[in-house]
Structures are given as C-alpha cells and as structure tokens.
Amino acid sequence: QVQLVESGGGLVQAGGSLRLSCAASGRTFTRYTMGWFRQAPGKEREFVAAWTWTGSTTYNSNSVKGRFTISRDNAKNTLYLQMNSLKPEDTAVYYCAATTVGLTTTLANYPYWGQGTQVTVSS
C-alpha cells in the first residue's frame, strides 16, 4: 500500500505557473511508477504525465507537453508537477497516482490515488 497526498493547487491567472506536490508514504516510493491525472468539471479523468521507477517519463502531448514538467525526489518520497504557461482549459482537479506497472498512461492501471488538489486558471 502507498498513501498519496497532493498539495500546491490554487487560483492563478492565465500565463502563470504553479507547482504541485505529491507526498507518498507506505511502500518503497522508488518502486512505483508515479503519475498525474486531472479531471475537469463534466469531463472524464485524463492522463497528464508519468515518471516510471526506471526513470522514464511521458506526457499527454496533446495538452501539456512543453508546458508541464514532472519530476520526483526519491529522497523526499515526493512527486512534483511544474505547470507553466497555464491556460483556462487547465482548470481541473489534479490527482497523483501510483502503480507497480511500468510506463502506463491508462487510468485503470493505477490502483493508488490521492484526494486531489484544485487548480483554477482565470482568463
């Protein structure tokens, strides 16, 4: 089992930046692939980015690549999502998730989830 707690959300103007954090506890953090997902009102939860325990990363290239950067600090058991050039369409609840599966963007492959943090981007 791994427990995940997100923080860092808030209200920001378009073009601004935020950094989300996800603190993990429980099983060995380094053995998990960690991902970020988001869910906007009335929409399905979608993949944002992931960092595997082998060091590979992947992004939702259609919506965030080039603007968002995922990183992790294994010593602190923490995953980050640096979000730059934010747009109103980035408004969503952002969730941290963990899996022992390798590089995967599929929501159903992630059994462990945080409670989410709200990001609101005003125009």
Query: Which pLDDT belongs to residue 65?
Result: 84
**16 three-class SS:** coil
Query: Which pLDDT belongs to residue 31?
Result: 83
Query: Which pLDDT belongs to residue 39?
Result: 98
Q: Measured between alpha carbons, how far is 60 from 109 in angstroms, rounded to an integer?
A: 16
Query: Which pLDDT belongs to residue 48?
Result: 97
Q: Measured between alpha carbons, how far is 89 from 95 in angstroms, rounded to an integer?
A: 16
Query: Which pLDDT belongs to residue 81?
Result: 98
Q: Measured between alpha carbons, how far is 104 from 111 in angstroms, rounded to an integer?
A: 12
Residue type at position 105: T
- In the chain, DSSP assigns E strands to 2-7, 10-13, 18-26, 33-39, 46-51, 57-59, 68-73, 78-83, 92-99, 112-113, 117-122
Instruction: Tell me the backbone φ, ψ of residue 61, rounded to 5 degrees.
Output: -65, -25
Query: Which pLDDT belongs to residue 63?
Result: 86
Query: Which pLDDT belongs to residue 91?
Result: 97
> What does pLDDT average to in each consecutive run of 10 residues of the chain (123 residues)?
94 98 84 94 96 86 90 91 97 96 92 97 96
